[in-house]
Amino acid sequence: MWRFRQPTPAEVEGFLVEQRGLDFSYDGVGRTRLAGQQPPSAGYVLDHNRQRLGQGDATFAAAVQALRRWEMFPAPLAQVVPAGVAIEVGRTVGVLVRAVGAWWLNSARIVYVIEEETASPPSSRRFGFAYGTLPGHAERGEERFLVEQLADGSVWYDLTAFSRPRYWAARLARPLTRALQRRFALMSKAAMVAAVDGRSAP
């Protein structure tokens, strides 16, 4: 759904009510969880971005908190609506994007949540989740947001997605869409760095 003004909270809620009962709009639901990260079929583009956030337990805890608050969404380019949606499997969210003078409201649903810790050396921890597109999204695909602490104590933000255009307008504007996706990845990494910086300081 797109328009030249920001949708009201009532319009967002009405849109999400319609989307909650619909199936995913793409092939390979859950595939971002697989090792190797291959797109589900021809026509999908795979994107993988990774950013070091720092070192130590406090940094990991701050990064997890940032994901739970959806702080990896870079304002003013994109935001999740309504704010504060819980990270739970089955939750439907709106992704509001502002670009080229218009507002685009997209729908997605959380596919899975990752919360893992290995106790035996070398220990590591991971927290994250993926959401997949619903019919009310301009694209088809899935995106995973993950933070992990490796055995050496380093903490990383990992962003993986596969996508393809859903609507004819998105297909025609594919160069612009790809530019926006690259911009989102860069801004998302910067947003996570900013969210962790200071919050993890002693």
**In 3-state terms, what secondary structure has residue 40?**
coil
Task: Answer yes or no: is pLDDT of 202 > 60.
Answer: no
User: Given this model, what pLDDT does residue 2 score?
Assistant: 67
- The residue ranking higher by pLDDT, 189 or 41, is 189
Q: Which of 29-38, 114-123, 151-160, 171-180 has the highest mean pLDDT?
A: 151-160
Average pLDDT over residues 21-48: 85
- State how far Cα 62 lies from the chain centre: 18
pLDDT per residue over 149-192, tens digit each? 999 999 999 999 999 987 655 555 667 788 888 999 999 999 99
Number of H helices, E strands in the chain: 4, 8
Of 121 and 74, which is predicted with more confidence?
Answer: 74
Comparing CA positions, the residue from 50, 51, 86 lying closest to residue 68 is: 86
| 3-state helix vs strand vs coil in the chain, percent to 5 | 25, 35, 35
pLDDT at residue number 26: 94
CATH class as words, domain 2-196:
alpha beta
Per-residue confidence (pLDDT) for residue 180, from 0 to 100: 85
Res. 105: pLDDT tops 90? yes
* Better-predicted residue by pLDDT, 5 or 16: 16
Number of Cβ within a 10 Å radius of residue 169: 11
Residue of higher predicted confidence among 75 and 161: 161
Whole-model pTM above 0.85?
yes
Residues above pLDDT 90, as percent of the chain: 65
Answer whether 89's CB lies under 8 Å from 113's CB: yes
